[in-house]
Amino acid sequence: MHVQPVATRNRNPAIDSLKALLAALVVAHHAFLAYTTSGYGSMVVEPRKFVAFDFVTGYLDLWFMSLFFFLSGLFVGKAVDRKGAGGYALGRLLRLGLPYVIGVVLINVPAFFFQYWAWLEQTTGTGIVLGAGEFLKFWGATIGTGQGQLWFL
């Protein structure tokens, strides 16, 4: 008798294919953003523009993230039934909260520190760092929660 591994048991190939397609669309969407006329949401903005990418990214913005949330919501009920509400919440906290906290410390603080340094250079002309308290005030005033690149968590 052949027993399937746990990872492949109860998988729905259609759902898996849809998630793969959505992931590819996310990559394409972000690649196109650099070439839109607005450059909205892109760290890289190319001088060459292609207006058709404005329509593609605008169309994708209408539905593809909502579909991701819908797909994830389809499986919450089964997970809560299997793990219980407390176990599910703890699992989410460990799987999403811990990487978020680590990412804020290791990625966002250094990244926004250099943004702060550039802001000081522009506003004071010196670029002299004023201290951790001033940096935290700047970070809170400009970034809010400080999520930056970790918005998806």
Profile the chain (153 residues) by mean pLDDT over runs of 10 residues.
Answer: 62 91 91 82 74 91 89 90 94 90 81 76 72 74 61 64
Does the model's pTM come out above 0.75?
A: no
**pLDDT the model gives residue 90:** 95
* Cβ-Cβ contacts under 8 Å for 104 (sequence gap 6 or more): 146, 147, 150
Residue with tokens 């009920």: 77
DSSP state of 36: S
Contact status, residue 135 vs residue 115, Cβ threshold 8 Å: no
pLDDT given for residue 119 in this prediction:
73
**Predicted local distance difference test score (pLDDT) of residue 5:** 61
Q: Report the C-alpha gap between 153 and 27 in whole angstroms.
A: 17
Res 55: pLDDT: 93
The pLDDT of residue 16: 92
Tell me the residue type at 123: T
* pLDDT at residue number 17: 94
Whole-angstrom CA distances from 119 to 75, 128, 132, 148 are 44, 10, 15, 17
